[in-house]
Amino acid sequence: MGRGQYESTAPTVYVWRDGTTERVVTIPTGTRSDLASTPRMIWNMIPPTGAYEDAAYVHDEGCQELRRAHAEGRPPAMSSRDVDRLFRDILCEADAHARQAGDPDARIPAWTRRLLWTGVRLGALANPARRAGWWRDAPAVAAIAAATGLVVAAAVWGLDRLVHLIF
């Protein structure tokens, strides 16, 4: 659609088998998405489009359902935590499929999957329709965010040292 917005041209059905539970997620024709809502400053590392588009589309539909349920005062079809876990599971499935197909460009490395999951869990904290149950994932989110912060800080420090050596 332009301006970072996409619209489904046909209905999509995704069947999620979570242990003994099977859930069907249906995305109707005309559903709009911005795909991965990554901040512009990290687009070099994780652009808004990529091998994770399917997971982002299903996740966006799950978030829309959470918003509708919250606005209508009814229980959602899936909890926010489940919607985010579904996102992570689809990312894992996409990576496994790319590995089997021998397509390195379609791979979604574990660090990318963890970072994307951390982002959606942090996003849940800021959204009243998605906040319920957030505390259960807080330790994992904090650990991944802290590790990412350390890596970024080390990279910045290393670049600073390199610049001082050169100049």
How many C-beta atoms lie closer than 10 Å to residue 38's C-beta?
20
CB 83 within 8 Å of CB 66: yes
pLDDT bracket for residue 1 (50, 70, 90): low
> Which residue segment(s) compose the domain that 69 sits in?
6-136
Q: Is residue 130 part of a domain?
A: yes
pLDDT bracket for residue 2 (50, 70, 90): low
- The vertex-16 CA angle with 127 and 139, nearest 5°, equals 45
pLDDT bracket for residue 72 (50, 70, 90): very high
Q: Is residue 162 part of a domain?
A: no
Q: Is residue 131 part of a domain?
A: yes
Is residue 151 pLDDT above 80, yes or no?
no
pLDDT in tens, 26-46: 888 888 887 777 777 777 777
CB 129 within 8 Å of CB 67: yes
Q: Is residue 125 part of a domain?
A: yes
Q: Is residue 164 part of a domain?
A: no
Instruction: Work out how many domains the chain is built from and give that number.
Output: 1
Q: Is residue 157 part of a domain?
A: no
pTM greater than the 0.85 cutoff: no
User: Distance between CA 79 and CA 127 in Å, rounded?
Assistant: 13
Nearest of 165, 61, 42, 15 to residue 111 by alpha carbon: 42
Going by DSSP bridges, is the β-strand pair 6-7/21-27 parallel, antiparallel, or unpaired? unpaired
CA distances from 4 to 1, 80, 164 (A): 7, 24, 39
Write down the pLDDT at residue 17: 82
